[in-house]
Structure 1
Amino acid sequence: MVRSLCTVTTALAFGWGGFVLAADDAFQSPLLGLFEAGVLCAQDEGTSRAAPDTVAGTTHVVTRAPEFISDGRLVPAVIGVGFGVRSGLRDGMMQDGVTMTVTHPPFAGSGATQQSFQTRIGSDTDPGITFYQFDYDYELALGDWTMTASLGAVTLYEVTFTVVPPETLPNLADACGYQNLFS
């Protein structure tokens, strides 16, 4: 299930520049003043928002951004584990109406390989977070998952995570307290 952090935003009204290669081969626009990606633990608090271009049909909006438990790009396939990006535009600007597209290996049952929803990019002083967490068994698709944030034809960032079997990363798989998978 996709989740995002929302707060009050203002419109962004200046030209878009080129792209910069960030750490771990993530692309980020020079408009970003903050870009952090990593693995996190699920949160139950928040509200739901309609997201018709997702398999679940909704996204979960949290009010408190979870901390990353790892800044790596390897993610154990465990219910309750998530991954995503904390980001903010430069100069205190924020932007609503950002399209997040998540491409992933085919889901069991539906065969879905892409989902998208609306999110926001916070500011460098008040960042937003958008993440995907595993809530259902069908989501535990091993392989590369790419998150692309765009505003119209402009890509603000793109980052790839690799979902691996939990036994590959036992400490990280157990970090959220959902480890009863190896019996």
Structure 2
Amino acid sequence: MRLTLSFFCLLATAVHAAPADMTGPQIGSLETGVICPPPTVGETAAPDTVAGVTHLVAEDPPFVSMSRRVPAVIGIGFGAKSTTADLMGLSEVTMTVTHPPMGKDRITQQSFLTRIDGISPSLTFYQFDYAYELVQGRWQMEAVKDGEVLYRASFDVVAPKDAPALAQVCGFEELLS
């Protein structure tokens, strides 16, 4: 009986677990990591996000770490650089970010439109701008076009003390609490 109960508990956990990371056939390359975001040059409307906007940057910053372990620090960013297998690229890609509950409404999912280029890597990232965003746990970024998952990448957001070197890499240590 104990073995059967354990099996059903494992099965229930597997059914409710987040989908595994993956890269679909329409993606030519995918890299993930942590970034120190450059200054923004503007914003674009993103009504399905808590902030209501996403940042526009003039230059894609390099990854400061290829880790998917991200310290919960204001100013740190994380995400994916990708290209499509087709040189023409893809527009109207829906990026959905799933995370532990945040903000006064306890939102667990945000989405916005993006484009993935077929020649130069396209950066899609999430940056911690506000204290309410600093929720620890599993975060997932999923790119979808016409119902097809292009890629899915998971990140673990941790307390700054659990990734001290990375928490200080962008020079935001005065914001650590």
Interval of TM-score (by shorter of Structure 1 and Structure 2): 0.7 to 0.9
Aligned residues: 158
Shift of 1:92: 1.7
Deviation (angstroms), 1:159: 0.5
Distance 1:50 1:85 in 2: 20
Name 2:154's counterpart in structure 1. 160
User: Which range moves more in the overlay, 163-172 or 41-50?
Assistant: 41-50
- Most deviating of 160-169 and 61-70: 61-70
Q: Please name the residue that 2:47 is paired with.
A: 52
Question: In the TM superposition, what is the alpha-carbon distance from 1:182 to its structure 2 partner?
Answer: 5.5
Once residues 60 and 86 of structure 2 are traced to their aligned partners in structure 1, the CA distance between those partners, rounded to angstroms, is 21
Which residue number in structure 2 is paired with residue 131 of structure 1?
125
Tell me which residue corresponds to 2:5. none
Give the equivalent residue in structure 1 for 2:6: none
**Percentage identity across paired residues of the two chains:** 49
What TM-score do you get using the length of structure 2 for normalisation?
A: 0.85
* 1:143-179 residue CA offsets vs partner (Å, 9 max, x unmatched): 0000000002100000100100000011000000001
Rounded Cα–Cα distance in structure 2 between residues aligned with 1:46 and 1:83: 18
Quote the offset at 1:34 in angstroms.
Answer: 1.1
Contact 1:92 1:126 in 2 (8 A): no
> Is the CA contact (8 Å cut-off) linking 1:75 and 1:161 kept in structure 2?
yes
Post-superposition shift, 1:93? 2.4
CA distance in 2, matches of 1:92, 1:182: 42
TM-score, length of structure 1 as denominator length = 0.82
1:47-126 pair list within 5 angstroms: 47-123=42-118, 125-126=119-120
Task: Decide which of 144, 153, 172 is 1:150's aligned counterpart.
Answer: 144
Structure (1 or 2) with the larger CA radius of gyration: 2
Instruction: Give 1:43 shift.
Output: 2.0
| Residue 40 in structure 1 maps to residue 35 in structure 2 | yes
1:179 aligns to 2:173 (yes or no): yes
Which residue type is aligned with residue 96 of structure 2? T
Amino acid in structure 2 at the alignment position of 1:110: D
